[in-house]
């Protein structure tokens, strides 16, 4: 008997709208703070968050206007979201490549990183509040142990969510390394890593969209793609 990970319920357009608002608002605050602290990793996280906010905003818009939740609307939405994230990655690379600054205050970086990570987790709760993450993790681990089949949509979306949180942790880790005297060029490296995460997130969104083009009836359940979130 095949073991599958928990199906991921799509967020509603209202949840996506709230997630986008939170992302846009905090990204501005984080970017200004990053300029004051002269931190490239914090700038990169702010730019990635802004791009992720754009992704959530596009998803909310398409979810609202697509009454019939057709494949065409969902596919266009996914590709535009991926473009938004890729643009954020390109902007980060341009910004990091043209600057040679270093962060000033270790404790301020730790505080900013902690707040940014909290906001990322808050956005996760806002957009995906109905997820059973514990059961999803247990299902994935059990499937790996027993070489069983997984719900690919659930796994890929879980990766996407994880990538959204990890860039904020980069800022926190930069501050910790500064505090123990090991920062050196870590701030720059984490900024580059954030660009990589933005591109990876873009690829994940495309994978999710492409999954929707295949027939999954043999799995015995609906993966939810490329259908858009309901207008509730």
Over residues 160-217, the pLDDT tens digits come to: 777 778 999 999 999 999 999 876 788 999 999 999 999 998 998 888 777 654 333 3
39 pLDDT band, cuts 50/70/90, is: very high
CA distances from 23 to 2, 71, 213 (A): 38, 27, 30
Output the six-digit token pair for 183: 């920062």
Residue 129, pLDDT > 90, answer no
With CA atoms as reference, report the closest residue to 154 among 1, 3, 5: 5
pLDDT category at 121 given cuts 50, 70, 90 is confident
Burial class (CB in 10 A: 0-12, 13-18, 19+), 41: buried
Q: Which residues contact 224 (CB under 8 A, 6 or more apart)?
A: 7, 8, 9, 10, 153
pLDDT band of 66, cuts 50, 70, 90: low
The burial of 205, by beta-carbon neighbours within 10 Å (0-12 exposed, 13-18 middle, 19 or more buried), is given as buried
CB neighbour list of residue 219: distance below 8 Å, 6 or more residues apart: 2, 4, 149, 151
Check whether 40 has a pLDDT greater than 50.
Answer: yes
pTM, two decimals, is 0.77
pLDDT of amino acid 107:
93
Least confident of 15-19, 91-95, 176-180: 15-19
Q: How far apart are CA 14 and CA 50, in angstroms?
A: 18
Q: Which residues contact 82 (CB under 8 A, 6 or more apart)?
A: 202, 203, 205, 206, 209
* Rounded-to-integer distance, Cα 18 and Cα 178, Å: 34
DSSP 3-state of 152: helix
């Amino acid at each position: 008997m095949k073991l599958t990970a928990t199906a991921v319920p799509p967020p509603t357009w209202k949840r996506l709208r709230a997630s986008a608002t939170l992302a846009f608002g905090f990204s501005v605050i984080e970017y200004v703070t990053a300029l004051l602290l002269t931190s490239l990793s914090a700038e990169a996280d702010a730019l990635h968050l802004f791009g992720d906010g754009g992704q959530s905003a596009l998803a909310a818009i398409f979810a609202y206007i697509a009454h019939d939740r057709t494949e065409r609307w969902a596919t266009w939405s996914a590709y535009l979201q991926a473009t938004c994230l890729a643009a954020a990655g390109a902007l980060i690379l341009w910004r990091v490549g043209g600057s040679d600054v270093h962060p000033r205050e270790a404790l301020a970086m730790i505080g900013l990183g902690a707040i940014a990570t909290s906001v990322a987790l808050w956005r996760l709760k806002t957009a995906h509040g109905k997820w059973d993450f514990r059961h999803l993790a247990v299902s994935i681990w059990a499937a790996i142990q027993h070489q069983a089949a997984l719900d690919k949509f659930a796994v890929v979306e879980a990766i996407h969510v994880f990538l959204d949180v990890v860039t904020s942790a980069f800022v926190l880790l930069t501050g910790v390394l500064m505090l123990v005297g090991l920062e050196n060029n870590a701030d720059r490296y984490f900024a580059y890593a954030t660009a990589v995460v933005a591109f990876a997130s873009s690829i994940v969104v495309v994978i999710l969209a492409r999954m929707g083009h295949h027939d999954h009836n043999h799995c015995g359940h609906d993966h939810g793609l490329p259908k858009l979130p309901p207008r509730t």
